[in-house]
């Protein structure tokens, strides 16, 4: 699954990787949990390592900032800061807005990694 990458208002670039645990008819399904990473540079090996850690309980990547869970999309969200850094309230809100936009327009998310 291709992550989405965007720059927050404070000029911090983040990468959001959905925690995909199931498939329907051979296609990934977007879940309610999204892992957040600081984006420093584009590196295929870094990307593969981050994706391989998705289902682990503890992430070791120094760029990992935690995850956002959509408890009730559009109403209730939870941010869990279990990485090396932490997001501010404003950053969390901006990330939720971006994820919500992609969830509302699923054709924008490159599900095939193309």
> What confidence tens digit (pLDDT) does each residue in 40-96 have?
765 666 666 666 666 556 777 788 899 898 877 677 888 989 888 889 999 999 999
Which sign does the torsion angle of CA 78, 21, 19, 93 carry? negative
pTM score, whole prediction? 0.72
Q: Is residue 49 part of a domain?
A: yes
> What confidence tens digit (pLDDT) does each residue in 39-55 have?
876 566 666 666 666 65
Domain that holds residue 95: 4-105
Q: Is residue 72 part of a domain?
A: yes
Over 90: is that where the pLDDT of 17 sits? no
Q: Is residue 113 part of a domain?
A: no
Q: Is residue 112 part of a domain?
A: no
Residue with tokens 């404070």: 10
Apex 3 CA angle, 96 and 33, nearest 5: 45
**Which tops the pLDDT comparison, 63 or 10?**
63
pLDDT at position 95:
93
Total domain count, the chain: 1
CB 1 within 8 A of CB 16: no
């Amino acid at each position: 699954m291709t992550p989405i990458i965007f720059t927050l208002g404070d000029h911090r670039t983040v990468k959001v990787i959905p925690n995909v645990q199931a498939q329907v008819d051979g296609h990934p399904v977007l879940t309610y949990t999204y892992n957040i990473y600081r984006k420093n540079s584009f590196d295929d090996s870094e990307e593969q390592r981050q994706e391989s850690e998705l289902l682990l309980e503890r992430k070791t990547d120094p760029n990992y900032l935690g995850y956002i869970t959509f408890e009730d999309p559009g109403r209730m969200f939870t941010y869990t800061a279990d990485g090396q850094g932490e997001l501010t309230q404003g950053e969390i809100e901006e990330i939720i807005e971006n994820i919500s936009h992609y969830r509302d327009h699923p054709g924008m998310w490159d599900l095939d990694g193309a």
